[in-house]
Amino acid sequence: MKMSKAYIPTLKETPAEAEVVSHQLMLRAGMIRKLSSGIYTYLPLGQKVIQKVEAIVREEMNKKGALEVLLPALQPAELWQESERWDYYGPELMRLQDRHERDLCLGPTHEEVITDLIKDELRSYKELPLNLYQIQTKFRDEIRPRFGVLRSREFIMKDGYSFNVNQESLDKTYQQMYAAYEEVFTRCGLDFKAVVADTGAIGGTDSHEFMVLADSGEDTVVFCEECDYAANLELAKSEVDFQPEVQKEAELKKVETPGVDTIEKLADFLDRPAKQLIKSLVFETDSGYLLALVRGDYQLNEVKLKNFLGVVQLEMADEEELITETGIIPGFAGPIDIPAEVQVIADPSVMEMLSGVTGANEADYHYLNVKPGRDFEVDQVVDIREVKAGEECIQCSAELSLTKGIEVGQIFKLGTKYSQALGATYLDENGKEQVMEMGCYGIGITRTVAAAIEQNYDDYGIKWPVAIAPYQVSILALGDGEVLTAAIELYNQLQAAGLDVLLDDRQERAGVKFNDADLIGSPVRVTIGSRSLAAGQAELKVRSTGQELEADLDKAKDRIIKLLADLK
RNA sequence: CGGAGCGUGGCGCAGUCUGGUAGCGCACCUGGUUUGGGACCAGGGGGUCGAAGGUUCAAAUCCUUUCGCUCCGACCA
Instruction: Map out the domains of chain A as residue ranges.
Output: 21-236+402-453, 253-381, 471-567
A212 secondary structure, DSSP code: E
A520 vs A516: CA distance, rounded Å? 6
Number of Cβ within 10 Å of residue A319's Cβ equals 13
Who among residues 443-482 of A has its Cβ near strand B, under 7 Å?
444, 446-447, 460, 478-479
Measure A122 CA to B9 C1' (Å).
Answer: 60
The closest alpha carbon to A202, from A444, A417, A408, A407, belongs to A417
| Residue A380 DSSP SS3 | strand
Alpha helices in A249-357 (DSSP H): 263-270, 302-309, 319-326, 348-351
Protein CB footprint (7 Å) on chain B nucleotides: 1, 11-13, 25-27, 34-39, 68-77
Residue type at position A456: N
Contact between the CB of A528 and strand B at under 7 Å:
yes
DSSP letter (8 states) at residue A129: -
Which nucleotide is nearest, taking the CA of residue A527 and each C1'? B36
The DSSP call for residue A385 is: B
Q: Quote the longest CA-to-CA distance of chain A.
A: 94
Task: Give pLDDT, residue A246.
Answer: 66
Give the three-state DSSP class for A410.
Answer: strand
pLDDT of chain A along its 568 residues, tens only? 999 999 999 998 888 888 899 999 999 999 999 888 899 999 999 999 999 999 999 999 999 999 999 999 999 999 999 988 888 788 889 998 888 989 999 999 999 999 999 988 899 999 999 999 999 999 999 888 889 999 999 999 999 999 999 999 999 999 999 999 999 999 999 999 999 998 876 777 789 999 999 988 889 999 999 999 999 998 999 998 887 666 788 899 999 988 888 888 888 889 888 888 999 988 887 777 889 999 988 888 888 888 888 876 777 777 777 777 777 887 888 999 888 888 899 999 999 898 899 999 888 899 999 999 999 999 999 999 999 999 999 999 999 999 999 999 999 999 998 899 889 999 999 999 999 999 999 999 999 999 999 999 999 999 999 999 999 999 999 999 999 999 999 999 999 999 999 999 999 999 999 999 999 999 999 999 999 999 999 999 999 999 999 999 999 999 999 999 999 7
Nearest nucleotide, CA A20 to C1': B71
List the single protein residue with the shortest CA to C1' distance from B38.
Answer: A512
Structural contact between residues A266 and A367, judged by C-beta atoms closer than 8 angstroms: no
Q: Å between A26 CA and B61 C1'?
A: 36
- H or E stretch at A139: strand A130-139
Which regions of A323-456 does DSSP assign to beta strands (E)? Answer: 343-346, 356-359, 365-370, 380-381, 400-415, 425-427, 433-435, 437-444
CATH topology of domain A253-381: YbaK protein (3.90.960)
CB A262 within 8 A of CB A347: no
| DSSP helix/strand/coil, A290 | strand
Q: Are A537 and A559 in contact (CB under 8 A)?
A: no
A4 touches strand B (CB under 7 A): no
CB A238 within 8 A of CB A392: yes
Strands of A140-270, DSSP E: 154-164, 192-196, 207-213, 219-224, 230-232, 253-256
Q: How far is the CA of A489 from the C1' of B27 (A)?
A: 32
How far is residue A48's CA from residue A237's CA, in Å, rounded to a whole number? Answer: 41
Q: In angstroms, rounded to a whole number, what is the distance separating the alpha carbons of residues A473 and A561? A: 10
Q: How far is the CA of A309 from the C1' of B5 (A)?
A: 40
Helices (H), A500-552: 510-520, 530-534
Taking C1' of B13 and every protein CA, the nearest residue is A16
Rounded to whole angstroms, the distance from the CA of residue A142 to the C1' of nucleotide B2 is 17
DSSP bridge pairs for A239: A392
Q: In whole angstroms, what is the distance from residue A269 CA to residue A254 CA?
A: 14
Rounded Cα distance between A293 and A278, Å, is: 7
Nearest partner of A356 among A239, A260, A238, A273, judged by Cα: A273
Strand B closer than 7 Å to the CB of A442? Answer: yes
Task: Determine if strand B comes within 7 Å of the CB of A158.
Answer: no
Strand B and A92 CB separated by under 7 Å: yes
The domain covering A471-567 belongs, at the CATH homologous superfamily level, to: Anticodon-binding domain (3.40.50.800)
Architecture of domain A21-236+402-453: 2-Layer Sandwich (3.30)
Which ipTM score applies to this complex? 0.91
Strand B proximity: list residues 96-135 of A with CB under 7 Å.
Answer: none
